[in-house]
Amino acid sequence: MNNTRRINLKFAMDHIAEALEILRTEQEGEQDYFDNMPENLQQSERGMQAETAAEELENACGALEDAQTYIETAIE
């Protein structure tokens, strides 16, 4: 791999790291929102939506972490 591609991929990695930080913050916020709901609200439509959102944001974080690993391997 040439240096230009490495530089571009490192640039992409920086953006992925920033996106991952945002996603983690929002995932934690959504999880806290769900966890702090009264139990009866957790079983409501709003509670289920919050729980689903927290889970999907966690999945998104995992996907970005996987992308980081793949890019790091490609750069090596």
Helix axes 45-75, 3-35, angle to 10 degrees: 160
Kindly report, residue by residue over 45-59, the tens digit of the pLDDT.
Answer: 999 999 999 999 999
Q: How high is the pLDDT of residue 1?
A: 87
Tell me the percentage of the chain whose pLDDT exceeds 70. Answer: 100
What is the DSSP secondary-structure string of 34-71?
Answer: HHTS-HHHHTSHHHHHHHHHHHHHHHHHHHHHHHHHHH
Task: Please determine, for residue 44, whether its predicted confidence score (pLDDT) is greater than 90.
Answer: yes
* Helix or strand holding residue 27 (H, E): helix 3-35
Task: Please determine, for residue 76, whether its predicted confidence score (pLDDT) is greater than 90.
Answer: no
- Cβ–Cβ under 8 Å, residues 24 and 65: no
Phi, psi of 36 (to 5 degrees): -90, 0
